[in-house]
């Protein structure tokens, strides 16, 4: 997908939103899971804390009573990360009792670290343990009145919370990555599926330009249907304008030819008069110029029609046979090597006029042979697109560089003994230019002049 395409823009915007949404969702889920894990851990600590408080509040227990393991063997293992501690705070010398796991160490006081009491009357926070572990610790002050004041603390190894959270983040990341890939593939499919009608319209317009179709046919989504309707209306309007232009050109041709004929006839009646001779000469020039420009206008109108395609091989083969018959008295043989698949993106009449002028000119100057070759080619970017190359060679005397430039000028002739007005090659140049093509001259392998006509192919 190209950076400037609509599909790329849709894909990139969808990808950006997808990444942002998945990232935010991942952070939220990770935070929720961590809080849930902490709450579960805290409930476990609070259970141990309430058990210890119940033991402290039992009035029948002797002062040196040894507390049980609270159902957790880790309280018995030295420096296991699980500890409890009971400190009496209303005596001059605090009495401290603790689990065997705490060994000869002491737990810090959350009150001294500035931790506030919760609504349940406890303090809870993360602290550093005896062996550098991170502990999750809960403590609660207990006032037994005459029996004393105590600070009961329970701590557990917080690595359980971190490991659970890390494991969840790992699986969450893998799941979201897989989900993101699936969603991106789905986005690619949706973009391609959603833009398929636009591609279909593009291909249909290409078919119209190449002559394979005349209108946009088929059903289109409601968002694109107006575009198809307007395109068809534009094609119809274009054809109507071309038809009107053709009518005007024909009317103009008839309107001008009649007065010119009258002028020529009147001047011919006084042929001995130098003035009349001059009028006839200029009238003939005017007739040639009018014919040339009317022909150019007519061709320009035809070129503007969208979707006209001509089979090249049949048209040139018909020209070859005609030209061979016309120049049979001079013994000129016209040969052709044609590509049967070649197609010209234009009208047959224009193709015949261009190639006919070239072949006729070659036959006039050839000694005995004229060779026509048709090639199809595709030019590389930026001038890409199928092109049609028509080569006409003769075995005449050929032309120098200066002569080649001269014959391309309108009405310029090298030899007045040859029939014609001298406008043929300039008409070919004008026609080829209107179609976006070109005409060039070179030296033919068979010894004479090579004329190379390049036109758009279908």
pLDDT tier, 295 (very low <50, low <70, confident <90, very high otherwise): low
pLDDT tier, 269 (very low <50, low <70, confident <90, very high otherwise): confident
Please report the beta strands in 44-115, taking only residues with DSSP state E, as ranges in sequence order. Answer: 83-88, 95-98
**Long-range CB contacts (within 8 A, 24+) of 425-432:** 425/357, 425/358, 425/361, 426/292, 427/292, 427/295, 427/296, 427/353, 427/354, 427/357, 428/353, 428/354, 428/357, 428/358, 428/453, 430/292, 430/296, 430/299, 431/299, 431/350, 431/353, 431/354, 432/354
pLDDT at 20: 94
- Residues 366 and 90: their CA atoms lie apart, in Å, by 131
pLDDT at 418 over 50: no
pLDDT at 4: 66
Higher local confidence (pLDDT), 412 or 302: 302
pLDDT at 26: 93
Model pLDDT for residues 45-93, shown as the tens digit of each residue: 999 999 888 888 775 555 445 555 567 788 888 888 899 999 888 887 7
User: Which residues are bridge partners to 163 per DSSP?
Assistant: none
- Residues 332 and 364: their CA atoms lie apart, in Å, by 9
11-15: average pLDDT: 89
Mean pLDDT computed over every residue of the chain = 82
pLDDT tier, 297 (very low <50, low <70, confident <90, very high otherwise): low
pLDDT at 60: 58
- Residues 59 and 296: their CA atoms lie apart, in Å, by 121
pLDDT at 122: 92
Dihedral sign from CA coordinates of 406, 412, 416, 422: positive
pLDDT at 292: 65
pLDDT at 420: 45
pLDDT at 27: 94
378-403: average pLDDT: 78
pLDDT tier, 312 (very low <50, low <70, confident <90, very high otherwise): very high
- Neighbouring residues of 228: CB distance < 8 A, sequence distance ≥ 6: 201, 216, 220
DSSP code string of 349-367: HHHHHHHHHHHHHHHHH-S
Instruction: Residue 396: name the closest of 455, 318, 451, 340 by CA.
Output: 451
Portion of the chain with pLDDT greater than 90, in percent: 29
Pairing of strands 438-443, 449-456: antiparallel
**Quick check: bond before 382 cis, omega within 30?**
yes
Helices and strands per DSSP (H, E), number in the chain:
8, 12
């Amino acid at each position: 997908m190209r950076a400037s395409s609509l599909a790329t823009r849709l894909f990139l915007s969808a990808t950006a939103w997808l990444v942002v949404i998945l990232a935010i969702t991942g952070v939220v889920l990770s935070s929720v899971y961590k809080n849930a894990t902490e709450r579960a851990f805290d409930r476990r600590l609070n259970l141990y804390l309430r058990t210890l408080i119940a033991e402290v509040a039992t009035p029948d227990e002797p002062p040196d009573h040894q507390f049980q393991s609270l159902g957790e063997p880790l309280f018995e293992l030295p420096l296991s990360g699980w500890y409890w501690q009971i400190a009496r705070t209303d005596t001059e010398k605090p009495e401290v009792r603790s689990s065997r796991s705490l060994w000869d160490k002491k737990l810090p006081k959350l009150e001294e670290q500035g931790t506030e009491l919760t609504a349940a009357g406890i303090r809870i926070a993360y602290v550093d343990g005896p062996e550098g572990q991170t502990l999750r610790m809960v403590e609660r002050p207990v006032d037994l009145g005459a029996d004393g004041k105590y600070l009961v603390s329970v701590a557990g190894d917080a690595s359980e919370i971190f490991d659970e959270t890390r494991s969840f983040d790992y699986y969450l990341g893998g799941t979201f990555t897989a989900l993101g890939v699936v969603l991106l593939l789905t986005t690619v499919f949706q973009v391609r599926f959603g833009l398929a009608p636009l591609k279909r319209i593009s291909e249909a317009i290409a078919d119209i330009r190449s002559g394979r179709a005349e209108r946009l046919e088929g059903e289109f989504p409601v968002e694109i249907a107006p575009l198809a309707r307007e395109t068809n209306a534009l094609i119809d309007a274009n054809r109507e304008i071309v038809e009107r232009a053709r009518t005007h050109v024909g009317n103009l041709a008839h309107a001008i030819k009649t007065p010119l004929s009258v002028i020529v006839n009147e001047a011919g009646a006084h042929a001995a008069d130098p003035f009349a001779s001059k009028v006839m000469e200029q009238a003939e020039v005017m007739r040639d110029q009018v014919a040339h420009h009317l022909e150019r206008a007519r061709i320009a109108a035809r070129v503007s029609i969208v979707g006209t395609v001509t089979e090249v091989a049949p048209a040139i083969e018909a020209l070859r046979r005609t030209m061979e018959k016309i120049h049979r008295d001079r013994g000129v043989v016209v040969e052709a090597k044609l590509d049967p698949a070649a197609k010209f993106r234009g009208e047959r009449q224009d193709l015949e006029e261009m190639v006919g002028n070239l072949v006729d000119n070659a036959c006039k100057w050839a000694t005995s042979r004229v060779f026509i070759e048709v090639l199809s080619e595709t030019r590389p970017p930026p001038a890409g697109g199928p092109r049609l190359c028509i080569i006409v060679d003769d075995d005449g005397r050929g032309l120098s560089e200066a002569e080649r430039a001269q014959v391309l000028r309108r009405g310029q002739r090298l030899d007045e003994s040859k029939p014609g007005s001298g406008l043929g090659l300039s008409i070919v140049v004008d026609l080829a230019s209107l179609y976006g093509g070109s005409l060039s001259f070179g030296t033919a392998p068979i010894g004479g002049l090579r004329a190379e006509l390049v036109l758009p192919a279908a």
